[in-house]
C-alpha cells in the first residue's frame, strides 16, 4: 500500500507542482456467492479484498478536471461542464470522469464546485474480474465527496458508481461491486439485498477456521460493455416479463415448475440460475452464522455448476481451475464475477494452498492454457481516506 501511495503522490507532484490535498483508497472485491443476481434485485455476498486503488487528489482554482495514472501515459484534461460530451470515449479515464459526471447528475452542482486533479495508482489487477473499475470509481467517489463537501452516504456513492458504469462507460452492470468496495470490513462479507439496498456484515471467521480464499485468475480477458453480460441481463428481464413480475426477485423455487411451462428452455435455465442462486446466498449466510466457513463448500460448488450449466457464463479455464482446486484439497470453489473469463475462487485450508497452486500450473500447462495467476486474498476494509 505505501508504495502505491508514494507513487501516486510523486506523480501528482510531478504533474501539478503541488502536494495533494489528500489520499483516498478503495478495494477490489471477490464475490463469495450470489452471481448475476444483483441486476435481478436479488441477494449478493461479496467481500472487499486487500488489493486497492489509491487516488491522490487536490482542488484547483479553475473548473477543470484532470486525471492521470501510473499505468497510462499523458493527462486527460477537460472543463467539468464538458463531461457529458465525452461519455464512453476516454478509455480507462471514463471511470473517474464518470464519477464526477454522476455526482453532477445526483445533486452536486458542477458549475459551482472547484476543479480537481486526480492521480491514480492500483494493485487491483485489470481484467481479472476483481472489480478494478469499481475500485477506481469508489476511491474517486469518496475523494470528491469530501473535497467538494457533498456529505453523501455510502449507499448513495455506490449508486453513483453504478450510474457512472451504466451511463458513462456503457456497461449494464449491477450495484454489487461498488457496494463491496464502499462497505467492506476486515474478515467480513457484505450481505446486500439489491432490492431494498439493506446491508448486513457477515463474519467470515476464515483465519480462525484455518482457511483462506485463493484467487485463480485465468487471464482470459472479459468485458461487460460488450456481448454476453448484456445478453444475460436481457434474457432475465424477458423471463421476468413473461412471468408477469417486475424482477426475478419476485419468484422463488416453488415457482419454477410454472416457469418451465411458460418459458423456452434457454430462458428457463437463466431464470432457474437466478432463483436458485438467491436461495444459495441465503443458505450461505445462515451456514456462516450457524456453523462457520467450513460449512459453505457445497454451496459454492453448486453455484459454479449453476453458472456453468444453466447461466452458461463459465469458460473451460474457469471450470478447470475449479475442478483442480477441488481435487487438491479446496472445500469449495466457483467462478467469481460476471464470467466469460476472469477469476475463480477456492475456499481452502491454509496447508492446501501450495498443493493447489502447483496442481493448477500443471493442469493449465497440460491443457495448453495460459499459466494462471494464483494468489490469496484477505477480506479487508472498504473505501477510506488514507491521509
- What span, in angstroms and rounded, lies between the C-alpha atoms of 326 and 334? 10
* φ, ψ (nearest 5 deg) of residue 212: -140, 165
Contact, 340 vs 227, CB < 8 A? yes
- What span, in angstroms and rounded, lies between the C-alpha atoms of 360 and 325? 7
Nearest one of 129, 106, 235 to 176, comparing CA atoms: 129
Which one of residues 12, 39, 92, 369 is an interface residue with ligand GLA (CB under 6 A)?
39
Nearest one of 337, 348, 371 to 294, comparing CA atoms: 348
DSSP classification of residue 41 = T
In the bound state with ligand GLA, the residue whose beta carbon lies nearer, of 4 and 128, is 128
Work out whether 137 is an interface residue with ligand GLA (CB under 6 A).
Answer: no
Work out whether 337 is an interface residue with ligand GLA (CB under 6 A).
Answer: yes
Candidates 35-43, 62-70, 252-260, 263-271: pick the segment binding ligand GLA (CB under 6 A).
Answer: 35-43
Work out whether 177 is an interface residue with ligand GLA (CB under 6 A).
Answer: yes
Candidates 32-40, 214-222, 263-271, 359-367: pick the segment binding ligand GLA (CB under 6 A).
Answer: 32-40
- What span, in angstroms and rounded, lies between the C-alpha atoms of 319 and 309? 11
Which one of residues 132, 166, 173, 278 is an interface residue with ligand GLA (CB under 6 A)?
173
The CB density around residue 200, as the number of other CB atoms within 10 Å, is 13
* φ, ψ (nearest 5 deg) of residue 314: -85, 170
In the bound state with ligand GLA, the residue whose beta carbon lies nearer, of 5 and 334, is 334
- State the DSSP H helix or E strand holding residue 33, giving kind and residue range, or none if neither: strand 22-33
Please state the closest distance from residue 342 (CB atom) to ligand GLA, in A: 8
Candidates 171-179, 215-223, 346-354, 374-382: pick the segment binding ligand GLA (CB under 6 A).
Answer: 171-179
In the bound state with ligand GLA, the residue whose beta carbon lies nearer, of 154 and 224, is 224
The CB density around residue 104, as the number of other CB atoms within 10 Å, is 18
Work out whether 344 is an interface residue with ligand GLA (CB under 6 A).
Answer: no
Work out whether 217 is an interface residue with ligand GLA (CB under 6 A).
Answer: no
Number of alpha carbons in the 13 Å side-chain half-sphere of residue 264? 5
Work out whether 28 is an interface residue with ligand GLA (CB under 6 A).
Answer: no
Chain positions 71 to 130 lying near ligand GLA, rule: CB under 6 A, are none
Residue facing ligand GLA at closest CB distance:
338
Helices (H) and strands (E) in the chain, counts: 11, 12
In the bound state with ligand GLA, the residue whose beta carbon lies nearer, of 126 and 207, is 126
Please state the closest distance from residue 234 (CB atom) to ligand GLA, in A: 13
In the bound state with ligand GLA, the residue whose beta carbon lies nearer, of 177 and 317, is 177
The active-site residue, picked from 177, 217, 301, 310, is: 177
In the bound state with ligand GLA, the residue whose beta carbon lies nearer, of 45 and 211, is 45
- What span, in angstroms and rounded, lies between the C-alpha atoms of 19 and 42? 44
**Is 177 labeled as catalytic in the residue annotation?**
yes
Chain positions 296 to 325 lying near ligand GLA, rule: CB under 6 A, are none
- Strand, helix or coil at 8? helix
Nearest one of 83, 305, 288 to 188, comparing CA atoms: 288
Please state the closest distance from residue 384 (CB atom) to ligand GLA, in A: 22
Size of the site for ligand GLA (CB under 6 A): 11
DSSP assignment of 126-178: TTSSS-HHHHHHHHHHHHHHHHTT----HHHHHHHHHHIIIIII-----SHHH
CA angle in degrees (0–180, nearest 5) for 58-62-68: 45
Chain positions 223 to 262 lying near ligand GLA, rule: CB under 6 A, are 224
Work out whether 176 is an interface residue with ligand GLA (CB under 6 A).
Answer: yes
Please state the closest distance from residue 109 (CB atom) to ligand GLA, in A: 29
Task: Name the region of 192 (left: φ>0; alpha: ψ -120 to 50; beta: rest).
Answer: beta
Catalytic residues: 177
Return residues touching ligand GLA (CB under 6 A). Answer: 35-36, 38-39, 173-174, 176-177, 224, 337-338
Amino acid at each position: 500500500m505505501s508504495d502505491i501511495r508514494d507513487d501516486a503522490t510523486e506523480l501528482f507532484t510531478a504533474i501539478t507542482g503541488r502536494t495533494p490535498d489528500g489520499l483516498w483508497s478503495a478495494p477490489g472485491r471477490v464475490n463469495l456467492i450470489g452471481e448475476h443476481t444483483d441486476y435481478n434485485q436479488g441477494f449478493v455476498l461479496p467481500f472487499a479484498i486487500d488489493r486497492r486503488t489509491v487516488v491522490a487528489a487536490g482542488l484547483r482554482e479553475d473548473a477543470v478536471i484532470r486525471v492521470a495514472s501510473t499505468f497510462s501515459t499523458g493527462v486527460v484534461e477537460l472543463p467539468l461542464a464538458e463531461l457529458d460530451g465525452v461519455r464512453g470515449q476516454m478509455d480507462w479515464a471514463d471511470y473517474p470522469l464518470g464519477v464526477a459526471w454522476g455526482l453532477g447528475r445526483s445533486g452536486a452542482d458542477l458549475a459551482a464546485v472547484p476543479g480537481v486533479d486526480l492521480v491514480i495508482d492500483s494493485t487491483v489487477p485489470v481484467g481479472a474480474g476483481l472489480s478494478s473499475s469499481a475500485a477506481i470509481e469508489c476511491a474517486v467517489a469518496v475523494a470528491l465527496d469530501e473535497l467538494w463537501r457533498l456529505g453523501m452516504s455510502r449507499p448513495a456513492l455506490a449508486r453513483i458508481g453504478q450510474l457512472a458504469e451504466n451511463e458513462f462507460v456503457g456497461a449494464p452492470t449491477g450495484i454489487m461491486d461498488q457496494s463491496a468496495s464502499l462497505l467492506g470490513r476486515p474478515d467480513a462479507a457484505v450481505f446486500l439485498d439489491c432490492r431494498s439496498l439493506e446491508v448486513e456484515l457477515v463474519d467470515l471467521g476464515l483465519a480462525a477456521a484455518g482457511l483462506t480464499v485463493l484467487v485463480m485468475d485465468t487471464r482470459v480477458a472479459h468485458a461487460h460493455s460488450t456481448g454476453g453480460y448484456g445478453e444475460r441481463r436481457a434474457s432475465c428481464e424477458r423471463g421476468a416479463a413473461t412471468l408477469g413480475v417486475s424482477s426475478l426477485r419476485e419468484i422463488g423455487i416453488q415457482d419454477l415448475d410454472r416457469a418451465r411451462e411458460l418459458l423456452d428452455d434457454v430462458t428457463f435455465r437463466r431464470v432457474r440460475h437466478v432463483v436458485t442462486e438467491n436461495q444459495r446466498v441465503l443458505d450461505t449466510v445462515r451456514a456462516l452464522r450457524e456453523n462457520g466457513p467450513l460449512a459453505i463448500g457445497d454451496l459454492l460448488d453448486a453455484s459454479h455448476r449453476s453458472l456453468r450449466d444453466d447461466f452458461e457464463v463459465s469458460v473451460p479455464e474457469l471450470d478447470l481451475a475449479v475442478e483442480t482446486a477441488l481435487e487438491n484439497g479446496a472445500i469449495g470453489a466457483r467462478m467469481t464475477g460476471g464470467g466469460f473469463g476472469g477469476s475463480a475462487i477456492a475456499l481452502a485450508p491454509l496447508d492446501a494452498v501450495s498443493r493447489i497452486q502447483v496442481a493448477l500450473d500443471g493442469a493449465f500447462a497440460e491443457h495448453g492454457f495460459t499459466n494462471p495467476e494464483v494468489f490469496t486474498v484477505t477480506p479487508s476494509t472498504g473505501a477510506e481516506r488514507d491521509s
